[in-house]
Every structure is written in C-alpha cells, then in structure tokens.
Chain A
Amino acid sequence: MFQYIVRRILLFIPTLFLITVISFGISRLAPGDPAELKAGVGGEGAMRGNQQLNEQMINQIRAQWHLDKPVWYWTLFSDEKDASGKLKPLSDRLTFKWNGTNNQYQYWLSDLLRLDFGKSFQDNRDVLEKIWERVPITTFLSVISIFLSYIIAIPLGIYSATHQNSRLDKISTVGVFILYSLPSFWLATMAIIFFGGGDFFAWFPNNGLHSMNISPGDPWMTRTLDYFWHLVLPVAAYTYGSFAYLARQMRGSMLEVIRQDYIRTARAKGLSNKMVVYKHALRNSLIPIITIIAYILPSLISGSVIVETIFTIPGVGQLAFQALTARDYPVIMAEFTLSAVLTLLGLLLADILYSVVDPRIAFSKKSS
C-alpha cells in the first residue's frame, strides 16, 4: 500500500514537469513582451512619454526577471542576422547550443519550487498572497457544494435503484439527465435574470457576498443570514452539476450491486429488505461514489471560474478570470500550475480512497 502510493507520487513527477513546461511555454509563446507589459502597467503616468527612460526601465526589468537570458536549456536556432538586419531563414540558423542552467525556465522553476510565483502585473502584489487570501471563499463554496450534492444524491440514487422503473425513478432519471446536460453558465445567468432583480423577481441578490446596507456592526445573526442569502444562487449553480452526476453514478452502482450473488444470498436467508439494502448493498455501492470526490475536486476549480465570475464572488476563480482578461502572466501561470497540482492530488486521492474502501483491490501486482 505504502509502496503503491510512493510509486503513484513518483509517476506524477513527469506529469508535473510537463505541466510546468507547458505553463512556461504558453507564457513565452504568447504575443507581447512581458517586460513591456509590466512596464506599461507598473509605470503609469510619470513614465509615459519618456522613450529613453522607458527603454531603460524595460531593460532593467528584463535583467531582473532574467528575460535577457536564453529561454531553455538548449537553443536550436541561433538568431543570426544577415547584412540587412533581418533574421536569416530557419534552415540556415539551425544549430545546437547548450545553455546550461543559466536559462529562464530554470530560474522560473526554482522560484516555483520555493513557492515564489512572482508579483502580479496589475498591482505588483505577491501572487501567492493574492491567491491565498481568496482560497477560503472558494473552499467554503466547494465544501458546501460537495456536501449538498452527496447528501441529496445518495438517497435519491438508492431509492431510484431499489425502486427501479417506479414513477419516481423514471422522473428522477430523466430529471437528473436533464440537469446533467444543463450548462451551469446558462442556469446561473437565467437565475440572475429571473430571480436576481431583472424585470422579474428580485428574490435573491445577484452579486457579491454582502449587502450594501449591512455593516460589520450589525448583529451576528443578521450578517450570517445576509451571507447565506447571497450564497443561495451561486451554491445552486455550483452544486447541481455534480449532484446530477453523483445521482446517476449512485443509481448505476446500486443497480449493479443488488444484482450480485451475495445480495441474493442475503435475501435468501430471510433478511429484511432494509437490512439487505443498507447493510449489504449500500457499502459496496458507495465505493465508486466516494472516489468520485477526487474527480469533482478539480472540476470545482474550473467551475469556480464561471460561477464566481457570474456572481462576482471574490474567489480564486474570479481572480483567474481577471488575470486572464488583463493578461497578468504571473497570476495566470500560478493558477494554472496550482490547478494542475490539485488535479493530480485529486487523482492520487482517488487511488488512495479506492484502496481504503475496497480491500479487494490489489496493489503489488499489476491488475490486468
């Protein structure tokens, strides 16, 4: 078991490496000079108009960020120029030059390993700090959403499976399938338009987490109620997708288990239906359901980009969206890398959970 986990972790290293390369590669291939972007945003006002000073500053930033160094460990094409100052054709420039560790990627990676994601282009604040202060809200939303989807999906799935082809089963199967295909960004937009104060009902607030007229001096109860009132629509938009997926899986898994021989045995020895379902079938049917949490986890991050943007909730997803529209490279790269790491952790968690809840799975031998 321990050996297995260690091996899984070791297997993640090449994936992680590739993800850092992709993240780095995107930021370098993207149009626009990061140093100019940085100078343009950081040096509002005073720097404008002074060409020489600007250039000086850009060069300074370049040196400081190692942008004047080669990009990668080796160079395949030199930037030799012909007499007129134009680059020679690619075929003439093909060389192989080893640059050693004094390259941009190496610097970026070693910063990354020290959890130093650099500073945001937008406000020059530490990227990790910016992300970190938004983590609680996104986590809170995710936890509520996961909790709710499990608490509704499991009983519904059990009922559907044990009462297969009953009217409620048919209704819930169709309903769940429809929910599953409903795009969350549509449902969220519709919720705002119809319940969030458009021309229809103004039942719920449509943005933020606090009302304007609520101050920190108000009683605790009022503030909490206001907070949860703001959460109703985002949580609903956040939850229904994973709920629908879970309910489908739960029904399928339960249906498969109650057809097993040992369930027939349990029934044959005269156990009550309740006993058979909840004591014998439920445990095994929960195995795939528990491990799904690991797949839901990373999807919540990408989901948060949409939901938090729509409802203007100051979470990690909204930060990602803002960074993407402002082309704030350091923040984007940090968010990308972190979400990749979370995806990997989720998969690892799934493997470990599998081994914990299902002793039938063997790890030492290859199963095939």
Chain B
Amino acid sequence: MAKDKEKILLDAAEREEQSKAKSRKEVNQSFWSLVRHQFKKNKIALAALYVVFFLFTIAILADFLANDRPIMAKYNGTLYFPIFKDYLVGVGLDRWDADLVTADWKELDQQGKLSSTIWPPIKWRSSNQDLVNNTAPPGGNHLLGTDAIGRDVLAGMIHGSRIALSIGFLSMSVAILIGVILGALAGFYGGWVDILISRLIELVITFPTFFLIITVVAMFQAGSIWLVMILIGLTSWPAIARFTRGEFLRVRNMEYVAAATALGLSNRRVIFRHVLPNSLAPVLVTSAFGIAGAILTEAALSFLGFGVPPTIVTWGSVLNDARGNISAWWLAVFPGFAIFISVLAYNLVGDGLRDALDPRLRD
C-alpha cells in the first residue's frame, strides 16, 4: 500500500517535472519554430508541402530528366557532358566543336559512335517533334503520348513545371514588392498617405482582373511569359497591401516600436528591422494562395490560346491541344492533373500556414 502511494507520488512529481520542461521549452520557442511545429501537426498540409518540394525538384532538374542529349557520353575518345556543356555555352563560357554544334546525339548513339553514355530518363525535350509519331497515345517511345505535332507530353509536363513555378513565384514577387511597400507606407504613416493608398487598393480590387489580363495579352499578340507574369503581379498586390497595412496599424502602436523610436532609430530602420518582420505572417499566407491563383490564371490563358507564344510548351497549352482532338484523352488528363495538383498543393500549404499562424487554434 505504502509502496503504491510512493509510486503515485513519484509519478506525479515526474509528470510535473515533465510539464515544466515542456512549458519551458515552449517559452523558449521562437515564433517561427512554433509555427513550424504547428504546421507539422497538420499532416495534409505537410504532404502538400512535400508535393511543392517535389515540383521544385522537377523544375530544377528538368533538363536532366527530359532532354535530347545525354548527360554523359564518350565521342571520338573524348568524354562529354552535353547538358552541362550546353549551360556553359549558353552563358558564353564554352563553345561546341564545329562537328558537334548541330549534332543529333540520338542519331550518333544509334550509329554506335557514342560509348559509356548516360541518357536522361526521357529522351525528348519539350520542343522536340517526333515526326513519325504525332498524336500518339501513351506507351512505346512516349510514356504519356504526343501532341498534334509530335511533341512528347511527358517532356512537356516536366519542362512546363518550370513555366508554372516561375509564373507563380515571379508574379507573386512583383505583387509582394508592390503590396508590402504600399501597405507598409499606408499603415506606418497613416493620415493622407493611408487614405490615398487605401483608395488605390480599393480601385484595383474592383478591376475585373481576368478580363483585364486576357484583354491586354490578346491585344499585344506577341505574347510573352514576362507580360503574363507582370500583369498577374500588377493585379494581385491589393490583398497583400491590405494585410500589410492592417499588420502595420496593429504593430505600430506596440511598445517595442515606441522603444525603437525612442532609441532614436530612423523610420526606415524601424520599418525594415522591427515592424516588417513582425508583419510578414499574413503576407506569407496570401502569397501561397496567390501562387496557386497565378498558376491557374496562366494555365487558363494558355488554354484559351493567349499568353505564352505557341513555341513554348506549358501545361495549359497542351490542354489546349486536347480541345482540337477529343479522342486524344492523354492531352487533357495529364496536363490538367499537373495544374490541379500544383494548385491544390499551394492552396493546402496556404491553408495549413493560416491555421498554424492562428493563435486561436493553438493548444
């Protein structure tokens, strides 16, 4: 009996010690590590984050995953790394030998002139046309089939991820740049600056965004990715500006800002070093949703045949080809799935971030 009691007491003490350690740990946690901890508890959001990383990896390694040149090959006794060499040639640091400038490496390989070759998993670049296999169903030479002019769909998917990601990130960078600057100015200075910027925010929010973008892109027919990126960025900053403004208004009157000002720091230093880092959380959430929106907008534009020039293969442009041939189901299923997965992943990450940042949901 006494032993039992002792055990209970010991257990209780141990528990207390543990909970103390836990709370100490929590106190020592910084804001962002708390957020990370909170985010990791959300399994779906975590999975979505891995999908985002996966897409990133594909985009970065696109040239090594789908290319019409080998990664490594021995030709005439010299060892070449054609894809790396292409990069160097591209920036002007290297030069192809005269006989290799227009070489068709696949032909060389077939003729048996190459040895110890390592090919990328997919031997097609997104722009390569397989002249004998157009609109070919999945299988054989082309795992996911080809489009109407014989371009490999899988290569298109892989290289298209670059376009999608760069559209998403660059357009959001434009939006964040404008949104954070204007929002910070409005929130920090208040007064007529605030009134003016708030009016501007209201003005841009009421624009029919998609129609504006599609009109401008269609009018300037020499479509380019940059135009699409900038247009998406120029129309999606108001949400970010609004949140930044709100955060600045909230943070501006906090004691540490007063302390920083009392220490004689310049406004610029107070804004950039003290207020801004504490106001970034909602910007992050908005950007995650914004990236999803930008990818969707670009895909919709390419799908309708506007936006990027026809020589560039994007997920939306492959999907557009499916409209012309309703028997070619592979032209619709795969690119659409790629768009859907990336949009879903960014939306889920945004959702998870929002929940992780919400102190009311913390336990």
Q: Is A112 part of the binding interface, using a Cβ–Cβ cutoff of 8 Å?
A: no
With A321-B304, A332-B215 known to touch, is A198 a contact of B326 (CB < 8 Å)?
yes
Q: How far is the CA of A147 from the CA of B276 in the complex (A)?
A: 44
- Residues of chain A within 8 A (CB-CB) of B275 are none
Q: How far is the CA of A14 from the CA of B203 in the complex (A)?
A: 8
A42-50, A127-135, A270-278, A336-344: which lies at the interface: A336-344
Q: How far is the CA of A310 from the CA of B292 in the complex (A)?
A: 23
Q: Is A287 part of the binding interface, using a Cβ–Cβ cutoff of 8 Å?
A: no
B78-86, B93-101, B128-136, B337-345: which lies at the interface: B337-345
**Which A189-222 residues have a C-beta within 8 angstroms of B?**
189-190, 192-194, 196-200, 206
- Residues of chain A within 8 A (CB-CB) of B206 are 12, 15, 340, 343-344, 347
Give the distance to chain B from A190, nearest Cβ to Cβ, in Å.
Answer: 6
Q: How far is the CA of A340 from the CA of B305 in the complex (A)?
A: 23
- Residues of chain B within 8 A (CB-CB) of A186 are 319, 332, 336, 339-340
How would residues 244 to 269 of chain A score, 1 for a CB under 8 Å from any chain B CB and 0 otherwise?
Answer: 00000000000000000000000000
Q: How far is the CA of A332 from the CA of B212 in the complex (A)?
A: 10
Q: Is A324 part of the binding interface, using a Cβ–Cβ cutoff of 8 Å?
A: yes
- Residues of chain B within 8 A (CB-CB) of A305 are 210-211, 214, 304
Is the interface on chain B under 10, 10 to 19, 20 to 34, or 35 or more residues?
A: 35 or more
Number of A residues whose C-beta is below 8 Å from B?
53
- Residues of chain A within 8 A (CB-CB) of B211 are 301-302, 305, 320, 335-336, 339-340
The answer to whether B327 and A199 have CB atoms under 8 Å apart is yes
Q: Is B347 part of the binding interface, using a Cβ–Cβ cutoff of 8 Å?
A: yes
- Residues of chain B within 8 A (CB-CB) of A343 are 206-208
B26-34, B140-148, B171-179, B216-224: which lies at the interface: B216-224
How would residues 261 to 284 of chain B score, 1 for a CB under 8 Å from any chain A CB and 0 otherwise?
Answer: 000000000000000000000000
- Residues of chain B within 8 A (CB-CB) of A52 are none
Q: How far is the CA of A183 from the CA of B333 in the complex (A)?
A: 12
Q: Is A227 part of the binding interface, using a Cβ–Cβ cutoff of 8 Å?
A: no
With A182-B340, A302-B208 known to touch, is A30 a contact of B219 (CB < 8 Å)?
yes
The answer to whether B322 and A324 have CB atoms under 8 Å apart is no
Q: Is B65 part of the binding interface, using a Cβ–Cβ cutoff of 8 Å?
A: no
- Residues of chain A within 8 A (CB-CB) of B220 are 30-31
With A183-B299, A189-B332 known to touch, is A309 a contact of B319 (CB < 8 Å)?
no
- Residues of chain B within 8 A (CB-CB) of A327 are 218-219, 221
- Residues of chain B within 8 A (CB-CB) of A19 are 207
With A199-B327, A336-B208 known to touch, is A183 a contact of B336 (CB < 8 Å)?
yes
The answer to whether A325 and B218 have CB atoms under 8 Å apart is yes
- Residues of chain A within 8 A (CB-CB) of B210 are 302, 305
Out of A177, A302, A340, A344, which one reaches B347, CB within 8 Å?
A177
Most chain A beta-carbon contacts within 10 A, residue among B206, B304, B305, B326:
B206
The answer to whether A339 and B208 have CB atoms under 8 Å apart is yes
Q: How far is the CA of A302 from the CA of B344 in the complex (A)?
A: 21
The answer to whether A15 and B336 have CB atoms under 8 Å apart is no
Q: How far is the CA of A104 from the CA of B338 in the complex (A)?
A: 46
Q: Is B329 part of the binding interface, using a Cβ–Cβ cutoff of 8 Å?
A: yes
- Residues of chain B within 8 A (CB-CB) of A192 are 326
Out of A197, A324, A325, which one reaches B215, CB within 8 Å?
A324
- Residues of chain B within 8 A (CB-CB) of A177 are 344, 347-348, 351
Q: Is A306 part of the binding interface, using a Cβ–Cβ cutoff of 8 Å?
A: yes
The answer to whether B340 and A340 have CB atoms under 8 Å apart is no
Most chain A beta-carbon contacts within 10 A, residue among B199, B211, B304, B327:
B211
**Which A31-77 residues have a C-beta within 8 angstroms of B?**
31
Q: Is B323 part of the binding interface, using a Cβ–Cβ cutoff of 8 Å?
A: yes
With A196-B326, A306-B304 known to touch, is A298 a contact of B208 (CB < 8 Å)?
yes
- Residues of chain A within 8 A (CB-CB) of B208 are 298, 301-302, 336, 339-340, 342-343
How would residues 181 to 202 of chain B score, 1 for a CB under 8 Å from any chain A CB and 0 otherwise?
Answer: 0000000000000000001001
Extra A-B contacts (18), CB below 8 Å, given A190-B332, A327-B218, A335-B211: A14-B199, A15-B203, A177-B347, A181-B343, A182-B340, A183-B300, A183-B343, A186-B332, A187-B336, A190-B333, A193-B332, A199-B329, A301-B208, A302-B208, A324-B218, A325-B305, A332-B219, A343-B206
Instruction: Please list the residues of chain B having a beta carbon within 8 angstroms of any beta carbon in chain A.
Output: 199, 202-203, 206-208, 210-212, 214-216, 218-222, 292, 296, 299-300, 303-306, 319, 322-323, 326-327, 329, 332-333, 336, 339-340, 343-344, 347-348, 351
Q: List 20 A-B contacts (CB under 8 A).
A: A18-B203, A19-B207, A26-B215, A29-B219, A186-B340, A189-B322, A190-B336, A193-B322, A198-B326, A206-B326, A301-B211, A305-B210, A305-B211, A306-B304, A310-B323, A325-B218, A336-B208, A336-B212, A339-B208, A339-B211
